[in-house]
Amino acid sequence: MLSLIVFLPIIAGLVILAVPSSQKQIIRIVSLLASLAQVVLSVLIWRAYDPSLPGITAGPGGSPLGSFQFVEKLPWISLNLGGFGSLNIEYFLGIDGISVTMVILTALISAIGILSSWTIQKQVKGYFILYNLLASAMMGCFVALDFFLFYVFWEIMLLPMYFLIGIWGGPNREYAAIKFFLYTLFGSVFMLLVMIGLYFSVIDPVTGNHTFSLVAMASQENYIKDAILGPDNVMWRYVAFIVLFIGFAIKVPMFPFHTWLPDAHVEAPTPISVILAGVLLKLGTYGMMRINFPLFPEVFHASMYVIGIFGAINIIYGAFCALAQQDLKKMVAYSSISHMGYVLLGLAAGNSEGMVGALYQMFNHGTITAMLFLLVGVIYDRAHTRQIDKFGGLASYMPVYAAVVTIAWFASLGLPGLSGFISEAFVFVGAFSSVTTRYIAMVSVLGIVFGAAYLLWSLQRVFLGKRKADAAYDIEVGEDGHEHIHFHDWKGKLDLDGRELAMLVPLAVIIIFLGIYPMPVLGMLTTSINKLVEVLSPVVMTTMN
């Protein structure tokens, strides 16, 4: 099941490889079918998922079964290393409450990204092959339970992303693409060293060999006491935690490692921005929850305060930057930084409320930001500009568009009744109830105010009032006596067309539904989060050492 959902896009990519590049429609449809199949599979997984199993660590008897679900475990590579025992790498997939939400999100956003890619005209074949490769790798990251496998998927994402930004991007794409590549690689090479160090420090309780299994690594009793990352080696455990954290923080992106994000977003084509904001950023915080924190709980405990401060900086700094942007897409990009700050704050709280909020915020941010970028893409297609001051009064000419934008914008600023509100509320409840992050939370609340400021202000400038003098469109009076607007070289429908609605409406429905009744998602993740909090709690730590 999980293998299928991971490799479907790659299979589609191979099929596309055989299709002549002139058959653009076939290429698109093959990709769409694969991603729709992914969505169907993710729904099946969601239906069959048993929310009572905790995940995170191994179940009874050291086996992942009984704790993780949909487990697939096959020996992949087994090398004899002489005096160092044998190097065992497993093809080990499985999901728990943390990953199941992300799997659903990834399938959904991938499918919407394909729809959004319909307008790509340049080198369609290459585009969809790379896109499918990216989609597979993202999905693989979320379901891999072997560190080696996770790392392979993690790195496979980089190259397609580089080309997708670099070939199909905007004017400054070369710079943005290589910047993205270098930043992420810089983070991940250190992850490679930590991975090797962990391998030499951890023993699989079942086989007695060293292992890359994240499940075995999540239990502190599996560590060799005096190994390089064993409990006795306090200094190296701190170093390992910090470099891993930086590796994931670059992906989040956390201040001060965020500078690649605005560049990448501004240059990337709309579907790639959607993928980037909707899924890729979540990999950073997912990595923290799956690897960074549970493997080094005592270091996490010591650094909660610092993580919280960085979360607060992200929230406020991102909001301030967004406030200053003239480019609508750049504003949304900075709003992403701000909103990922809530995730960090929730994680830093270290309690169930905060962690649930963080994970739920990851899901909601994925859907909401995908919508924001799609909507920016809609107006950019028509006007070929994203400058906020080139519009004005659009609401009366594009009423459907304005309505959808309003939903998305309000969801982003956390209006009650929409999904963003619930997750942010959980984050703050968690952060306030934790002694460590209480004061940080008080400061962070300001972020909501600034968030409302830039969102409402941009909404007002683009949709309300009158047409600006140098706007990107002209007003014509039609034969029926009504005023219409006209974009210079836009031949399509003025308001949202069917394809655009097909992308936006499902997202809007999800956002509204989960804002009113969040249990379908929350219900899946609470058991795992409680388990994670238990693994991270200092009580467990002291009994173990």
Partner 1 sequence: MFELPSGAEIQGIIASLEASVGFFIPELYLSVLFMLLIVVDLFAKGRKNNLLSITTLLGLAGSIFFIYQQHSMQPGEFFFGMYVLDEFALFFKYLFVISAMIAVVITMADEQFDREVKSIGEYYALIVAMLIGMIMMASSADLMMIILSMELVSLTAYILTGYFKRDPRSSEAALKYLVYGAVSSGLMIYGFSLIYGLTAQTNLIKISAELSAHGYDPVVMILASLIVLAGFGYKIGAVPFHFWSPDVYEGAPTPITAYLSVASKASGFALLMRFFYIAVPHVVNPYEDIIGIDWVSLLIILSIASMIYGNVVALWQKNVKRLLAYSSIAHAGYLLLGIIVMDQLGTQATLFYLLSYFLVNFGAFYVVILIANKTGSENLDDYRGLGKRMPLAGAALTVFLISLVGLPPTVGFIGKLMIFSALLAKGSLYIWLALIGVMTSVISLYYYMLIPLNMYLRDSEQHGEKNMDSGMLAKVLMALLMILTLYFGLFFQPLSDFAKYSSAMFGVKLY
Residues at the interface with partner 1 (CB under 8 A): 77-84, 87, 123, 151-152, 155-156, 158-159, 162-163, 166-167, 173-174, 177-178, 181-182, 185-186, 189-190, 192-193, 196-197, 199-200, 228, 233, 236
CB of 82 to partner 1, least distance (A): 5
CB of 150 to partner 1, least distance (A): 11
- How far is Cα of residue 336 from the mean position of the Cα atoms in its chain? 10
Q: Which amino acid is at 150?
A: F
CB of 294 to partner 1, least distance (A): 21
Tell me whether residue 26 or residue 87 sits nearer to partner 1 (CB atom). 87
CB of 77 to partner 1, least distance (A): 5
Tell me whether residue 26 or residue 243 sits nearer to partner 1 (CB atom). 243
DSSP 214: H
Helix 498-516 / helix 97-116 crossing angle, nearest 10 deg: 160
Tell me whether residue 94 or residue 197 sits nearer to partner 1 (CB atom). 197
User: Cβ(384)–Cβ(126) under 8 Å?
Assistant: no
Tell me whether residue 193 or residue 456 sits nearer to partner 1 (CB atom). 193
How many Å apart are CA 154 and CA 139, to the nearest integer? Answer: 10
Tell me whether residue 85 or residue 205 sits nearer to partner 1 (CB atom). 85
Tell me whether residue 61 or residue 82 sits nearer to partner 1 (CB atom). 82
CB of 542 to partner 1, least distance (A): 26
User: Cβ(244)–Cβ(209) under 8 Å?
Assistant: no
Q: Which residue has the tokens 């519009």?
A: 391
DSSP characters over 36-75: HHHHHHHHHHHHH--TT---SS--GGG-SBTTBEEEEEEE
CB of 200 to partner 1, least distance (A): 6
Q: Which residue has the tokens 């599979």?
A: 41
CB of 161 to partner 1, least distance (A): 12
CB of 35 to partner 1, least distance (A): 22
How many Å apart are CA 420 and CA 357, to the nearest integer? Answer: 10
User: Cβ(395)–Cβ(463) under 8 Å?
Assistant: yes
Q: What number of other Cβ atoms are within 10 A of residue 448's Cβ? A: 18
Tell me whether residue 28 or residue 237 sits nearer to partner 1 (CB atom). 237
DSSP characters over 94-141: EE-HHHHHHHHHHHHHHHHHHHHGGG--TTHHHHHHHHHHHHHHHHHH
